[in-house]
Amino acid sequence: MSKTIFFLPGTMCDQRLWSRVWPLLNDDYQPIHIPIPEAKNMNNMLKAIIEKLPKENVNLIGFSLGGYIASALAANYSERMRRLMIIANSPGSLPENEIEVRKKSLNWLDYQGIPLSKIKTYLHTENQDDQNIIKTITAMDLSLGKTTLINQLSNTTLRDDLSEQFGIIDVPILFCIGEEDNLVNRSTLRAITSKNTNRQFFEVKKAGHMLPLEQPEKLAEIINHWI
């Protein structure tokens, strides 16, 4: 299992999130996508995912919401983990402004998909007109639809701060974020990584929140080295 890598996506993302990264991984690596399950709460979500994973030696990569879920899995099932990579996320609560945006989103009864203006806030300045990235994000959002959006926002917006638990998890952890990602608390990541040599923190140039789509070559390089 040392060459098998399990990937968790973010809010309103599916396997297409990794479409630019997987072809660049070493040929002997086996990437496996784990969809975020529909569940009534975060605990049920964790149970549904852990049942799909091997009993031990798991290489787990999570993006955004998937990064928080991966953090929670490591906090609760550290004996199952071999190593952990968290992309575009810190193991804490969401920023207050993002929580308010999500609460308002739950009132969109006529939701027709993520607005272009919202997509651009997730991208680095230089990537905001990249039509391939925009089309991928739009397609994932439309495929998953309103029901999935409501389920994910309702059950994952309020999150426990796992920072203290990370201090005692005996698992190598790598945090990777884009330089213009405004959803990640950098001070939290620096505090976590500065106290433990088993923690690393990389910031990728010319990327915002959607790092796997914006800088797939750099992310694949990091993953190849990480494994």
Per-residue pLDDT of the chain (227 residues; tens, 9 = 90+): 569 999 999 999 999 999 999 999 999 999 999 999 988 888 899 999 999 999 989 999 999 999 999 999 998 999 999 999 999 998 876 667 776 766 666 665 567 788 999 999 999 999 999 999 999 999 999 999 888 888 888 777 667 777 777 777 889 999 999 999 998 988 888 888 887 888 899 999 999 999 999 999 999 999 999 98
Selection from 27, 62, 6 nearest residue 184 by Cα: 62
Could you tell me the residue ranges of all domains in the chain?
4-226
Asked if residues 219 and 212 have their Cβ atoms less than 8 Å apart, the reply is yes
Element (H, E) at 82: strand 81-87
Q: Describe the strand order of the beta sheet including 30-33 as a list of residue ranges.
A: 30-33, 4-8, 58-63, 81-87, 173-178, 199-204
Query: Using CA atoms, how far apart are residues 57 and 78, in angstroms rounded to an integer?
Result: 10
Asked if residues 69 and 61 have their Cβ atoms less than 8 Å apart, the reply is no
Asked if residues 72 and 80 have their Cβ atoms less than 8 Å apart, the reply is no
Domain 4-226, CATH number (from 3.40.50.1820, 3.30.559.10, 1.10.1040.10, 3.20.20.60): 3.40.50.1820
